[in-house]
Amino acid sequence: MSIFDSVSKSLNEAIDYERGNTNGVRKRVVTVMPVPQYKGIEIKRIREELKITQANFAELMGVSVKTVEAWENGRNIPQGPAQRMLDLLKNESDIVDKYVVLSKK
């Protein structure tokens, strides 16, 4: 099947679906897990498990060193995306190596 035919078929299926024809349509329902809430000591533990400095952790997270210090000391709490990233780092610490986020000199 050519790319044109494949795209054309897909668009026709989408139009049929919008018109209420759901015969043969596979539907998948997903639930997004709630954003976790990491604070002070938990954030420091994640950083230490990665064996990186506050400066490198700040670079990794896209924030300032002062922000990391405030998180770790409990003066500030990371918001949405930072919390999600902390969760990824906690549960998949190899993500830093897998996606070459930090260079090792």
Residue 104 has pLDDT above 70, yes or no: no
Domain membership of residue 16 (yes or no) is no
User: What CATH number is attached to the domain comprising 52?
Assistant: 1.10.260.40
Please state the rounded mean pLDDT for residues 76-99.
Answer: 91
Domain membership of residue 77 (yes or no) is yes
Residue 102 has pLDDT above 80, yes or no: no
Q: What is the pTM of this model?
A: 0.70
Q: For residue 93, what are the domain limits? A: 40-98
Cα-flanking dihedrals φ and ψ of residue 88, to 5°?
Answer: -65, -45
Q: What is the pLDDT of residues 5-47, one digit of tens each?
A: 999 988 988 898 889 888 877 778 899 999 999 999 999 999 9
Contact 67, 76 (CB under 8 A): yes
Q: What is the pLDDT of residues 45-59, one digit of tens each?
A: 999 999 999 999 999
Domain membership of residue 70 (yes or no) is yes
Work out how many domains the chain is built from and give that number.
1
Domain membership of residue 59 (yes or no) is yes
Domain membership of residue 23 (yes or no) is no
Domain membership of residue 60 (yes or no) is yes
